[in-house]
């Protein structure tokens, strides 16, 4: 028989090996890197923990910085799940080899094919629409029709939008390339830039505020931001948002542009089983309803009720292109915007 000393040494070596492989002695946990702010994700993660007993270790940060962090950590990364915004980032994480395939009937049944990776390496959790927002005092909605029509001379000096470095705009242009071709998209971008009211600056909320202040008459922004302002604890922000209306463009053809927030299983996830459980939980009807009503994002799962604010924006026809193509065309979109002088 082994002596007590030798048995203790053998046990310690086994434990050390286990720690070096898993990074943790506890299997009942999952490590999440999230570009969503803690207030917008933690309540849902807490519900998951309460129901399953799986502890969620949450790290929040800048979306691009988290992807860079996972890349630099390599196989030693503790990340199990990456939650981020915009399909461009989800595709980038996949292209950098930071994600892996998930086999899950639950995810495939809950999420439409165009809203998930064609190899099931990332999955949309919520949708955001990027329509036209306008001042009803200065714009008659009868004047509005398509995104392409915003290049008309009547809109010269009347449009506000974020810079070309913003990934939401890059994805919007990428989606247009996929649907109308690079040549027509460049023609559109050239015309849009000529109608800018000012050099692009600030975030989506700043574009909405610029409409109300009279710097421009039209803004292109995500509904998520307008809804957040309408439900803000700040009365002045609520008042500003109430003076802007939503118009859904391209309803007779390709539909309004949408993008997503989404998640992926990390390539080197030490708690992969728990990670898949979390992904599946986040597309359950109750979780999707929480997102819709609390964060005012459109659910990816059919049949889930929208928030009252989203209902006020009205129903709309959305683009139906595979979102993975939007991410893959990001570089081409940036080139088009650069050629058009979109700063």
- Has residue 317 got a pLDDT over 90? yes
Residue 13 lies in a domain: no
Both 244 and 325 in a single domain?
A: yes
Both 216 and 234 in a single domain?
A: yes
Both 90 and 140 in a single domain?
A: no
- Has residue 11 got a pLDDT over 60? no
pLDDT tens, residue by residue, 99-144:
999 999 999 999 999 999 999 999 999 999 999 999 999 999 999 9
**pLDDT computed for residue 40 by the predictor:** 84
Give the whole-angstrom CA distance, residue 218 versus residue 31: 41
Give the whole-angstrom CA distance, residue 259 versus residue 261: 7
The mean per-residue pLDDT over the stretch 328-335 comes to: 97
For residue 315, the number of C-alpha atoms closer than 13 Å in the C-beta half-sphere is: 1
DSSP designation for 153: G
Both 120 and 262 in a single domain?
A: yes
Both 188 and 203 in a single domain?
A: yes
Give the whole-angstrom CA distance, residue 167 versus residue 85: 9
Both 230 and 189 in a single domain?
A: yes
Q: Which of 11-15, 291-295, 333-337 has the lowest mean pLDDT?
A: 11-15
Both 69 and 184 in a single domain?
A: no
End-to-end distance of the chain based on CA atoms, in angstroms?
75
Both 211 and 327 in a single domain?
A: yes
Q: Which of 174-178, 280-284, 291-295 has the lowest mean pLDDT?
A: 291-295
**pLDDT computed for residue 39 by the predictor:** 84
Residue 287 lies in a domain: yes
Residue 67 lies in a domain: yes
- Has residue 292 got a pLDDT over 60? yes
Both 243 and 137 in a single domain?
A: yes
- Has residue 26 got a pLDDT over 90? no
- Has residue 6 got a pLDDT over 80? no
Where residue 19 falls among pLDDT bands split at 50, 70, 90?
very low
Both 223 and 269 in a single domain?
A: no
Residue 23 lies in a domain: no
Q: Which residues pair with 29 in a beta bridge?
A: 55
Residue 12 lies in a domain: no
Both 135 and 244 in a single domain?
A: yes
Of 218, 41, 233, residue with least CA distance to 145 = 218
Residue 85 lies in a domain: yes
**pLDDT computed for residue 27 by the predictor:** 58
For residue 230, give the CATH number of its domain: 3.40.190.10
Q: Which domain holds residue 38?
A: 28-127+258-307
- As a whole number, the mean pLDDT across the chain is 92
The mean per-residue pLDDT over the stretch 42-71 comes to: 96
**pLDDT computed for residue 31 by the predictor:** 98
3-state SS, residue 26: coil
Residue 123 lies in a domain: yes
Of 301, 298, 91, residue with least CA distance to 175 = 91
Where residue 37 falls among pLDDT bands split at 50, 70, 90?
confident
| Number of domains into which the chain is organized | 2
pLDDT tens, residue by residue, 235-274:
999 999 999 999 999 999 999 999 999 999 999 999 999 9
Give the whole-angstrom CA distance, residue 193 versus residue 223: 22
Residue 3 lies in a domain: no
- Has residue 68 got a pLDDT over 50? yes
Both 184 and 320 in a single domain?
A: yes
3-state SS, residue 102: coil
């Amino acid at each position: 028989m082994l002596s007590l000393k030798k048995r203790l040494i053998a046990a310690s070596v086994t434990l050390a090996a286990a720690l070096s492989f898993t990074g943790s002695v506890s299997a009942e946990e999952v490590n999440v890197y999230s570009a969503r702010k803690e207030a917008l994700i933690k309540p849902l993660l807490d519900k998951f923990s309460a129901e399953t007993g799986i502890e969620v270790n949450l790290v929040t940060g800048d979306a691009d910085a988290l992807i860079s962090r996972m890349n630099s950590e390599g196989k030693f990364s503790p990340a199990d799940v990456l939650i981020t915004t915009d399909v461009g980032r989800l595709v980038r994480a996949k292209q950098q080899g930071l994600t892996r395939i998930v086999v899950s009937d639950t995810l495939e049944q809950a999420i439409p094919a165009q809203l998930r990776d064609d190899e099931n390496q990332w999955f949309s959790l919520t949708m955001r629409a990027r329509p036209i927002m306008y001042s009803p005092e200065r714009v008659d909605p009868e004047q509005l029709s398509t995104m392409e029509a915003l290049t008309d001379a009547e809109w010269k000096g009347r449009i506000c939008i974020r810079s070309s470095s913003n990934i939401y705009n890059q994805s919007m242009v990428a989606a247009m390339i996929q649907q109308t071709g690079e040549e027509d998209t460049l023609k559109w971008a050239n015309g849009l830039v000529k109608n800018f009211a000012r050099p692009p600056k600030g975030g989506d909320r700043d574009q909405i505020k610029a409409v109300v202040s009279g710097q421009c008459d039209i803004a292109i922004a995500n509904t998520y931001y307008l809804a957040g302002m309408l439900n803000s604890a700040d009365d002045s922000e609520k008042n500003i948002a109430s003076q802007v209306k939503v118009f859904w463009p391209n309803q007779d053809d390709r539909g309004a542009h949408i993008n997503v927030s989404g998640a992926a299983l990390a390539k080197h996830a030490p708690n992969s089983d728990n990670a898949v459980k979390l992904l599946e939980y986040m597309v359950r009807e109750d979780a999707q309803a929480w997102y819709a009503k609390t964060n005012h994002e459109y659910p990816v799962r059919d049949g889930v009720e929208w928030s009252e604010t989203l209902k006020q924006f009205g129903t709309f026809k959305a683009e139906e292109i595979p979102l993975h193509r939007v991410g893959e065309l990001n570089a081409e979109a940036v080139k088009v915007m650069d050629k058009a002088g979109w700063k």
